[in-house]
């Protein structure tokens, strides 16, 4: 969990440095993940882990004194839906967790790259 918490902090700090001063009341980090569909149980576990990391960050005072909130974005293990959701979140977010798993990564990550969004994901 400490590694995930550190990654979340790094993403937020780097995005602020890269894009200038950002004024927020809370840091909202979208997490593109399969919350429904064939691997929903795994997606729920991953979402729980991201929320746990956010709780640890918040218990330590947040980032720049502001809390972190993980926003679940369901891709339903569907590459098309993952691409649509990534296109939606790049409009309002500088960073994201996910997408997961690999079929969704392959479809959605080019959208993040084209729009300069920092995203961290893992796959097997």
Q: pLDDT tens, position by position, for the chain (124 residues)?
A: 566 655 555 555 555 544 555 577 999 999 999 999 999 999 999 999 999 999 999 999 999 999 999 999 999 999 999 999 999 999 999 899 999 889 999 999 999 999 999 999 876 5
Please give the pLDDT value at position 24. 76
Please give the pLDDT value at position 65. 95
Pairing mode, if any, of strands 95-97 and 118-120? parallel
Q: What is the CATH number of the domain that holds 71?
A: 3.40.50.2300
Q: How far apart are CA 47 and CA 73, in angstroms?
A: 10
Is residue 69 one of the residues assigned to a domain?
yes
Please give the pLDDT value at position 41. 95
Domain count of the fold of the chain? 1
Is residue 7 one of the residues assigned to a domain?
no
User: What is the domain extent for residue 79?
Assistant: 25-120
Please give the pLDDT value at position 122. 77
| Secondary structure string (H, E, C) spanning 16-73 | HHHHCCCCCCCEEEEEEECCCCCCHHHHHHHHHHHHHHHHHHHHCCCECCECEEEEEE
What 3-state DSSP class applies to 8? helix
Is residue 13 one of the residues assigned to a domain?
no
Q: Give every strand in the sheet of 95-97, ordered side by side.
A: 68-74, 27-33, 95-97, 118-120
Is residue 41 one of the residues assigned to a domain?
yes
Q: Which of 68, 63, 85, 51 is nearest to 17 (CA)?
A: 63
Is residue 80 one of the residues assigned to a domain?
yes
């Amino acid at each position: 969990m400490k590694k995930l918490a550190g990654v979340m902090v790094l993403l937020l700090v780097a995005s602020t440095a890269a894009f200038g001063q950002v004024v927020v009341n809370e840091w909202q980090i979208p997490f593109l993940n399969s919350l429904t569909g064939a691997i929903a149980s795994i997606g729920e576990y991953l979402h729980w882990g991201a929320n746990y990391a956010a709780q640890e960050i918040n218990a330590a005072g947040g980032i720049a004194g502001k809390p972190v909130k993980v926003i679940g974005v369901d891709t339903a293990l569907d590459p098309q839906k993952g691409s649509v959701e990534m296109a939606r979140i790049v409009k309002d977010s500088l960073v994201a967790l996910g997408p997961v798993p690999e079929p969704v990564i392959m479809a959605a990550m080019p959208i993040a790259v084209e729009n300069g969004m920092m995203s961290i994901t893992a796959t097997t």
